[in-house]
Chain A
Amino acid sequence: MSDSPSPLIPIPRGPLPAIPPPPERRLVRIAIDGQAVSVPEGATLLEAARGIGIDTPTLCYLENLTPVNVCRVCVVELEGSRTLVPACSRKVEPGMSIHTDSERVRLSRRLVLELLASSVDLSAAPAAQAYLERYAAHPERFGPAASTAAQPVKIDNSLYVRDYGKCILCYKCVEACGVDAQNTFAIAVAGRGFEAHISTEYGVPLPESACVYCGNCIGVCPTGALMFKSEFDMRQARVWDESSQTQTDTICPYCGVGCTLTVHAQDGRIVKVTSPLDQPVTNGHLCIKGRFGWQFVETITSDTSPPTPRVAP
């Protein structure tokens, strides 16, 4: 056929689109807790361990971010290595033998968790709480709990609060704000040593910073240091009840990208929107409209403006 296409006639079916296969990955043999396993080259020890069902604790690691190796709770013992190695970023090498639950590993994880829990408030970090219990950590032996990093909650905008008394400096928010997702670079780690803290440029309030309120920092925060204002207010009023909430996956109502939104609802009202890390479109990252623009579904716009009713019959 060589005629020009006519809109009246459907275009015939072509061959299935060819997609280049991913580069072949050789298998690497290693031993994990005495068990021989084969994993693709380039995989991390964390992936290898998870692949055989070993639950390795992590705080600063997330599937959609580049590992920064700062929290040290994922460390494992590598035979022949002087130091423990971070499972989240150390790649497998042929012949490695690692121990994920040795006394040395347990001691190190316990100590790291005790140091964190003794200096910051982990009350809104259920994962960290579970690890503290699992490793029989006693943070109180380092002094009164949560005293050293305690500081006022920063509430300087209508969408989210920053409670750095709960911050473990895991860098996830910095990564999400920067090269791993948003490329906005509104926040970074400022100061050194014990003075190190997450900050906007010159510590200005968020509305004066480069922040575009995508909320991707909240999406990755493991301790509740960054929180939706709406969730914070409900928690303050003691009406936040996660056990009664439903989670439903749907598609964002705004642009044509098609991000999956997980709608968290309590008592038939939307209370929060998140996005699953494994959604292929943006790996759990959203923009301001997707993360915060759902309030039109509810009847009240904000604390200050009068209720705007949806049209009634």
Chain B
Amino acid sequence: MVDPRRTSSAQWARAWLGLHVGSDISLANAMGREIIVSGLAHREFIEHATSGFDPYRDAVAAYTLERAERDTGVPAAAIREAAHAYAKAGRAQICWTLGITEHHNAVDNVLALLNLALLTGHVGRYGSGLNPLRGQNNVQGGGDMGALPDRLPGFQHLENGELRAKFERAWGAAIPPRRGWHLSAMFEAMERGELTALYVIGENPADSEADRHRALRLLEGLQCLVVQDLFLTRTAEMADVVLPAAAGWCESEGTVTSSERRVQRVRRAVGPPPGVRDDIEIIYDLARRLGHDWGAPDAEGLWNELRRLSPMHAGMSYARLEQLGGIQWPCWDESHPGELYLHSRLWHDPLIGPRAPFSVVEFQPPVDTLDDQYPIRLTTGRRLDSYNTGVQTSRYASPLRRAETLDLSPHDGVRYGIADGEKVRISSRRGSVVAPVRYDPGLRPGLAFLTVHFAEEVATNELTVDAICPKSGTSEFKATAIRIDKFQEN
């Protein structure tokens, strides 16, 4: 278990590597170097299915265990043990979540982990693999359906003319030939005045965006903001038009895709409140107002259209999804069972398709640096009973829920003279908030923790930095430099 915090999961782990926030690449590169110098690399696999090994080996040569110990704070012996355990395992998986991706170098962090799987052959085989654990029930499905700036449904690239032409023929409409913007780029475009109208469906960026002052200013500057949501969220309160939407998981029909690529049916269990409509109905009506009559909205009909256009979904009829309890993509035809794991082609002899490339990535510490003025590293995450900005979870009475706290190492409490439960002012280079401190022995000295669940009480994103990964557009929610000061009530 690699995590800056000693979480309850870490307490179950055989070993916990409590690294400094944002030092993941140094750790992974050092593990890679250790695997190579110990002769544990899977030479046959590297030779057969990968490219770029030599530059990778040369790049990680600088990441000795001692250097990684300095970068990460993890003892060299623990890094060595983790490297050997991973390389020698008969089957091994690397699972990660936002601790890897909510950084200014998110994609590099992921590539550093991919390198380890390529080095050891722990990919494309039963029980092995690389698993980005999805934090939401359909974030995978959003990507599957083409809710990405450069993809059409089924991950077909928008800038491939042949693929684009297929969709243009089916839809009888021209598709812009160049990729669009991801969320962070949209905010940059608002800043430049290029993006003046925004249609937000089921998202609450007024609370969820990093550097909230900036996000609110840009949302307020829009000429037109349309929000489609279950609730009058803070974003919806700012909107020119609010479209009340049904709950996708229990008031409408459709599919979602889970973390294991399993497409699953969601079904209407109850009707929406009066005046509230299914997302599909709303979008069909909008199309009609814009001069395109698509007929009667029908979730299964739309799904079948997707199956005709996206080869990886072709075999997933509603009947089969029902019968098999969901199917993992790719599922090429109606006799195909779906695939338990990906990349089996890498083990096929001869190799099918392109080689899997090693990537040279270097350790880059977080953008918001620690100094005498901002000496504490704040990281963010979730608490068990809550979810994101709390739009859903604030509406059930959880006995686990307590007021938001700044979790702090007891050691730091003593050091800064802050008692457990004492209210403090928390400041970053962008803003400040007030919250009580809670001592958490799972945090190492110098590390603090907040969630974004309770923006009304503690607007954590007033503190966070909008440094974004240039390749993925994710903000560095995981690494903010803060200071804590005693709070004087007026």
Q: Which residues of A contact B (CB under 8 A)?
A: 1-20, 157-159, 183, 206-207, 211-213, 246, 248-258, 260-261, 263, 265, 268-270, 279-281, 287-289, 292-297, 299, 301-302, 308, 310-313
Interchain CB contact under 8 A, B397 and A256: no
The interface residues of chain B lying within 8 Å CB-to-CB of A312 are 244, 273, 275
Q: In the complex, what distance in Å separates the CA atom of A280 from the CA atom of B352? A: 32
Q: Return the chain A residue nearest B259 by Cβ.
A: A256
Q: Which of B70-78, B218-226, B362-370, B386-394 contacts A (4 or more CB under 8 A)?
A: B386-394
The interface residues of chain B lying within 8 Å CB-to-CB of A308 are 395
Q: Return the chain A residue nearest B354 by Cβ.
A: A5
Interchain CB contact under 8 A, A253 and B249: yes
Q: Which of B111-119, B184-192, B340-348 contacts A (4 or more CB under 8 A)?
A: B340-348
Interchain CB contact under 8 A, A18 and B344: yes
Check if B51 is an interface residue, CB within 8 A of chain A.
yes
Q: Which of A16, A20, A256, A311 interacts with B242 by CB under 8 Å?
A: A311
Check if B278 is an interface residue, CB within 8 A of chain A.
no
The interface residues of chain A lying within 8 Å CB-to-CB of B393 are 289, 293, 296
The interface residues of chain B lying within 8 Å CB-to-CB of A3 are 354-355
Interchain CB contact under 8 A, A17 and B231: no
Check if B280 is an interface residue, CB within 8 A of chain A.
no
Q: Which of A4, A14, A207, A253 interacts with B345 by CB under 8 Å?
A: A14
Interchain CB contact under 8 A, A1 and B351: yes
Interchain CB contact under 8 A, B251 and A255: no
Q: In the complex, what distance in Å separates the CA atom of A200 from the CA atom of B141? A: 41
Closest chain-A Cβ to B371's Cβ sits at a distance in Å of 36
The interface residues of chain B lying within 8 Å CB-to-CB of A7 are 150, 157
Q: In the complex, what distance in Å separates the CA atom of A133 from the CA atom of B386? A: 45
Interchain CB contact under 8 A, A270 and B270: yes
Interchain CB contact under 8 A, B270 and A256: no
Closest chain-A Cβ to B265's Cβ sits at a distance in Å of 7
Check if B396 is an interface residue, CB within 8 A of chain A.
yes
The interface residues of chain A lying within 8 Å CB-to-CB of B242 are 311
Check if B67 is an interface residue, CB within 8 A of chain A.
no
B377-404 CB mask vs A (1 if < 8 Å, else 0) is 0000000110100011111111110000
The interface residues of chain B lying within 8 Å CB-to-CB of A310 are 230-231, 244, 273, 276
Interchain CB contact under 8 A, A250 and B354: no
Interchain CB contact under 8 A, B276 and A313: yes
Q: Return the chain A residue nearest B244 by Cβ.
A: A311
Check if B55 is an interface residue, CB within 8 A of chain A.
no
Interchain CB contact under 8 A, A255 and B398: no
Interchain CB contact under 8 A, B259 and A311: no
Q: In the complex, what distance in Å separates the CA atom of A249 from the CA atom of B343? A: 32
The interface residues of chain A lying within 8 Å CB-to-CB of B276 are 310-311, 313
Q: In the complex, what distance in Å separates the CA atom of A268 from the CA atom of B269? A: 8
Interchain CB contact under 8 A, B134 and A296: no
- 13 CB contacts below 8 A, A to B, read A3-B355, A4-B52, A8-B159, A252-B249, A253-B250, A256-B259, A258-B258, A265-B270, A292-B398, A295-B397, A296-B395, A296-B396, A297-B251
Interchain CB contact under 8 A, A14 and B126: no
Interface contact tally, CB-CB below 8 A: 220
Q: In the complex, what distance in Å separates the CA atom of A312 from the CA atom of B434? A: 33
Q: Return the chain B residue nearest A263 by Cβ.
A: B269
Interchain CB contact under 8 A, B395 and A301: yes
Interchain CB contact under 8 A, A258 and B262: yes
Interchain CB contact under 8 A, A159 and B236: no
Q: In the complex, what distance in Å separates the CA atom of A22 from the CA atom of B345? A: 23
Interchain CB contact under 8 A, A213 and B354: no
Closest chain-B Cβ to A218's Cβ sits at a distance in Å of 14
Binding site of B, secondary structure by majority: helix, strand, loop or mixed?
Answer: loop
Closest chain-B Cβ to A292's Cβ sits at a distance in Å of 5
Check if B268 is an interface residue, CB within 8 A of chain A.
yes
Closest chain-A Cβ to B398's Cβ sits at a distance in Å of 6
Q: Which of B248, B345, B356 interacts with A12 by CB under 8 Å?
A: B345
Q: Which of A18, A296, A311 interacts with B232 by CB under 8 Å?
A: A311
Interchain CB contact under 8 A, B330 and A250: no
Check if B267 is an interface residue, CB within 8 A of chain A.
yes
The interface residues of chain B lying within 8 Å CB-to-CB of A15 are 344-345, 348, 352
Q: Return the chain B residue nearest A310 by Cβ.
A: B273
Q: In the complex, what distance in Å separates the CA atom of A250 from the CA atom of B251? A: 10
Interchain CB contact under 8 A, A20 and B353: no
The interface residues of chain B lying within 8 Å CB-to-CB of A4 are 51-52, 354-355, 357
Interchain CB contact under 8 A, A311 and B231: yes
Chain B CB count within 10 A is highest, among A7, A263, A293, A311, for A311
Interchain CB contact under 8 A, B341 and A263: no
- Known interface pairs A206-B399, A268-B271. Does A253 touch B137 (Cβ–Cβ under 8 Å)? yes
Interchain CB contact under 8 A, B399 and A254: no
Interchain CB contact under 8 A, B395 and A313: no
Check if B136 is an interface residue, CB within 8 A of chain A.
yes
Q: Return the chain A residue nearest B396 by Cβ.
A: A295
- Known interface pairs A13-B332, A296-B392. Does A263 touch B136 (Cβ–Cβ under 8 Å)? no
The interface residues of chain B lying within 8 Å CB-to-CB of A299 are 273
- Known interface pairs A14-B348, A249-B267, A289-B385. Does A256 touch B354 (Cβ–Cβ under 8 Å)? no
Interchain CB contact under 8 A, B250 and A258: no
Going nearest first, the 9 A-B pairs with the smallest beta carbon separation are: A256-B134, A14-B345, A258-B258, A256-B259, A248-B269, A263-B269, A313-B275, A296-B395, A158-B397
The interface residues of chain A lying within 8 Å CB-to-CB of B336 are 16
Interchain CB contact under 8 A, B400 and A246: no
Q: In the complex, what distance in Å separates the CA atom of A2 from the CA atom of B357? A: 10
Closest chain-B Cβ to A238's Cβ sits at a distance in Å of 22
Closest chain-A Cβ to B346's Cβ sits at a distance in Å of 8
The interface residues of chain A lying within 8 Å CB-to-CB of B140 are 256
The interface residues of chain A lying within 8 Å CB-to-CB of B230 are 296-297, 310-311
Q: Return the chain B residue nearest A160 by Cβ.
A: B399
Interchain CB contact under 8 A, A248 and B268: yes
Closest chain-B Cβ to A264's Cβ sits at a distance in Å of 8
Given contacts A16-B339, A251-B264, 12 further A-B contacts (CB under 8 A): A1-B354, A16-B344, A17-B340, A17-B342, A207-B399, A213-B398, A213-B400, A251-B266, A255-B259, A256-B137, A296-B396, A313-B276
